[in-house]
A = this chain, B = another copy of it.
Amino acid sequence: MAGGAGISGLYGVAQGQSYGPNSHGTARSLDFPLVKAEIIAIGTEILLGEIIDTNSAYIAQRLPELGIDLNYKSVVGDNMGRIVETFERAWNRSDLIVCTGGLGPTEDDMTREGIAKVLGEELYVDPALEEQVRRWFSGRGYPMPESNIKQAWLIASARGIDNPRGTAPGWWVERDGRVIVCMPGVPPEMERMWQREVRPELERRSTGEVLVTRTIKTVGIGEGTVDEMAKPLYGVPGIGIGTYARADGVHLRIGAKARTREEAWERIRPVEEEMERIFGSAIWGRDEDTLEGYIASQMHERKTTLAVMESCTGGLMSNTLTDVPGSSDYFTAGFVTYQTQQKIDLGVPGDVIIQFGTVSPETARAMAEAARRKAGADYGVGITGVAGPDPQDGIPPGTVHVAVATPEGGTHSLSMTMNQGRQAVKRRAVTTSLLLLRRALLGELR
């Protein structure tokens, strides 16, 4: 059972050892609710942005289902003064602090010292942990550098958390009805520790107030307008609603808290239905849905196939479509025709290019039709434009024409100009192509 699993990896408890009545006592008896949480990421590399902190997002995504509210996230460098300051504040305002990083063997790994300072407790080498760390090294056939002894440190209120993927055990600190969890910064080590040890233990403590969210993804309406349209629902008690502008349209997030997931869903359902009534076909997806995933499901459902001929997006359209597992069932071929000769070789009529130019709606449509023909697919997508940064034949960067050729024989194009960087232009051109393809599949293009 979860509690057991959670406890099993916690040294001292698992092995029936006591590190002073304090921590041991709390570990057994206490069963207070952990409600207000904050995350602290420690490390100069993260602070300076040399590493993107994905751990905090990983943890943040997993707290709501435990009924734990996350209020703050912070990043501190390897600086004792600021580490102590940050932990002191967290200790005073939160009852669960989840921190990652600073558990290594080097001098600038200060998480343990920092926490000891904040709680006014002494650091000591724990025999069980020391053996564990030494075993890790001997198991790999080399002796433990003495600096690694730090990784066997504990304080009275702390227990070690098993880390089979690395040398640094985690810390489970428990005192005065509050908990500090320390995990290594290396994502796979952190994730395993979270799944096997920390999550089950927190689940055991959880009050049961669960937050459930449902994201509704719309397209074709501005954020301000979506906000206006959804306002009537903002009053609904026990429900929180947020709007977020995204590359693939405006997202609406409905959140509900309740004792059980079922209860929460009962609150969300009517609001969701009302939103479906308000936004109708502007809604293209939910939660984790992606546009390419939507296209994939439609293609599978209709047993239709798709081919792409793209120039300015340089393969990003094909790449996006093939990020979906199983896309080989409907994605027959992609042609990245960066040069005019290639377009012609693959079936784009030369006179269209001569008459209208390579960057034109006409050429985009001819490319969509050529892709369809050449690959014997039901649908064809054509994309041509100037990704930039420089103009091309006098056409400004950010000019893009996308087209979709349908089995019904119609070919539809859409043109845009954007004032963005090369890669942003590529991304937006692909998003627009996916949206145009969606409309074609919905029969909205006539």
Contact = CB atoms under 8 A, between A and B. Distances in A.
A253 B47 CA distance: 14
Contact of A48 (B48, B61, B86, B165): B61
Interface in A317-347: 317-323, 325-328, 331-339, 342
A298 interface: no
Given A49-B61, A336-B333, A315 B325 contact: no
B242 A108 contact: yes
Contacts of A105: 223-224, 227
Interface stretch (A27-35, A64-72, A274-282): A64-72
Nearest to A69: B77
B327 A338 contact: yes
Contact of A72 (B76, B342, B389, B419): B76
Contacts of A253: 45, 50
A394 B164 CA distance: 22
A191 to B, nearest CB: 8
B224 A145 contact: yes
A75 interface: yes
Contact of A227 (B60, B107, B245, B336): B107
Interface string A34-71: 00000000001101111011101111110010000011
Interface of A: 44-45, 47-50, 52-54, 56-61, 64, 70-79, 82, 86, 104-108, 142, 144-145, 147-148, 164-165, 186, 188, 191, 222-225, 227-228, 234, 242-245, 253, 308, 313-323, 325-328, 331-339, 342, 375, 387-390, 419-424, 426
Given A48-B60, A105-B224, A186-B245, 6 more contacts: A48-B64, A49-B61, A52-B57, A53-B57, A332-B342, A334-B334
